[in-house]
Amino acid sequence: MFVIMGGTGRVGSAAAEALLRGGEDVTIVTRNAQSAPWRARGASVAVADINDVNGLRDVFRKGRRALLLSPPADPSEDTDAVEHRTVDNILDALEGSGLEKVVAVSTYGAAPGDRIGDLGTLWRMENGLAQQDIPAAVNRGAYYLSNWDGAIEAARESGALPTMLPEDLTMPMVAPADVGEAAAQRLTSDVDDVGVRYVEGPQRYTAADVARVLAAQLNRDVQPQVIPPEELEAAFAALGFSPAAASSYAGMTRLTITGPELPEAPWRGPTTLEQYVRSVL
């Protein structure tokens, strides 16, 4: 049995669907059984609250392997504080779970540090997994193409593509569904397939590339509208982020712009930027 956290999101659902296609037994962890139509697809559903360590451990005990995903906190809160507690709860729930292997979804650029959003939160997960006994595979995903979804809608309406990335910065990007497929592969691989693997799409792109693809799909001029780095906190605050969350997301964005060291041979998913944009439009 494979236990899937985040099964109602894009990555978790893609991993679950891949496992079900392969004839595997899957249990989806959710806070609300009514919100997960997985039973009709052949999966089991387990209701558990991320803040209930014992309840989550009981779910893990039903499985052989598990996909670990840390859910994003509400940006109106202190996202770092909430997400760090979430990661600690997941790690605590692994103790005594009896799992033979776990796969964690992390991110390019994960690193220790304060007020750097997912980069610090997922480093906390990676570091915690390294300190426990269950064999752990870590998939670091590139910049999600879904991060462009809101900007794509804005470009459709106005022709301006809002971006916090410099328009000529080449970035590894990946479709969330491909991250899920990669996770499913490692969930079913040998127990000694552990450690960090990098996951990205078939090629790397810039914000200018996104604008170019959108222009072709929308049949109109689309130009990147770059938000300067010094205005990031204000930009996040304007989206309804708390001051703490705005600081964390701005710090994460600045480190992303600086850029982590990129791997030479990542696992590459098949979804191109063009295919992803068409699916959104």
pLDDT by 10-residue block (mean), the chain, 281 residues: 93 97 96 76 92 97 97 97 98 98 97 96 98 97 96 92 96 98 98 98 97 96 96 97 98 92 93 96 90
SS3 content of the chain, % helix, strand, coil (to 5): 45, 20, 35
Q: Which amino acid is at 69?
A: L
The pTM for the full model equals 0.96
pLDDT at residue 35 in the model? 59
The residue with tokens 């304007």 is 238
Number of domains in the chain: 1
In a domain, 153, yes or no: no
In a domain, 190, yes or no: yes
pLDDT at residue 62 in the model? 94
pLDDT at residue 261 in the model? 80
In a domain, 157, yes or no: no
Structural domain boundaries enclosing 28: 2-143+174-201+261-271
pLDDT at residue 155 in the model? 93
In a domain, 160, yes or no: no
In a domain, 58, yes or no: yes
pLDDT at residue 259 in the model? 81
pLDDT at residue 40 in the model? 87
pLDDT at residue 12 in the model? 96
Max Cα-Cα span within the chain: 57
Q: CATH number, domain at 19?
A: 3.40.50.720
113: left (phi over 0), alpha (psi -120 to 50) or beta: left
Contact 119, 79 (CB under 8 A): no
